[in-house]
Amino acid sequence: MRAKTVKGFPAAESDSDSASGGTQPTHPSAEPAEPGGGSDLRTAGLKTLRELLPGVFPEGDDIDLRDGRLGEDLVEIGVSSVFGALWARDGLSRRDRSLVTLGILIALGAETELKTHVRIALANGLTEDELAEVLYHATGYAGFPRSVAARTAAREALSQ
């Protein structure tokens, strides 16, 4: 399979669980991620993404998220290193990981990724009122312009 477009996920040139998170591996092995290779981190990452964004990622370990364009491996790297190695860890609930991630993305001004993580946060049990509180709280640390930009991105994500 080649260049699957994953709607709403910030793949190359794209626009863009359960509340408790369940039992998750603490230290997945660090094998390289190859589409169809079934590395432990990639497999864990795909499983986590399917739980965080139900219906977005097709089943199977052989899906190829590359698009043949500049930086096409970026999504594959994220699947393994972010969603396989970090989101699949024990230690924080997925709800707590969503809160931390939203704050970081607001501070970075990463609105494209924020749109995806607003959807993930809702799947992880955050309410729209709690999302608003994250925006308000971030204003004191990341600044008013970053929070306003994040609010715009969150509103776009909620309207999808």
What does the pLDDT look like over 57-75, one tens digit per residue? 878 777 888 888 999 999 8
Helix extents (H) in the chain:
40-52, 74-78, 94-108, 111-123, 128-142, 144-159
How confident is residue 6, by pLDDT bands cut at 50, 70 and 90?
low
How confident is residue 106, by pLDDT bands cut at 50, 70 and 90?
very high
Handedness of CA 114, 119, 99, 22 (dihedral sign): negative
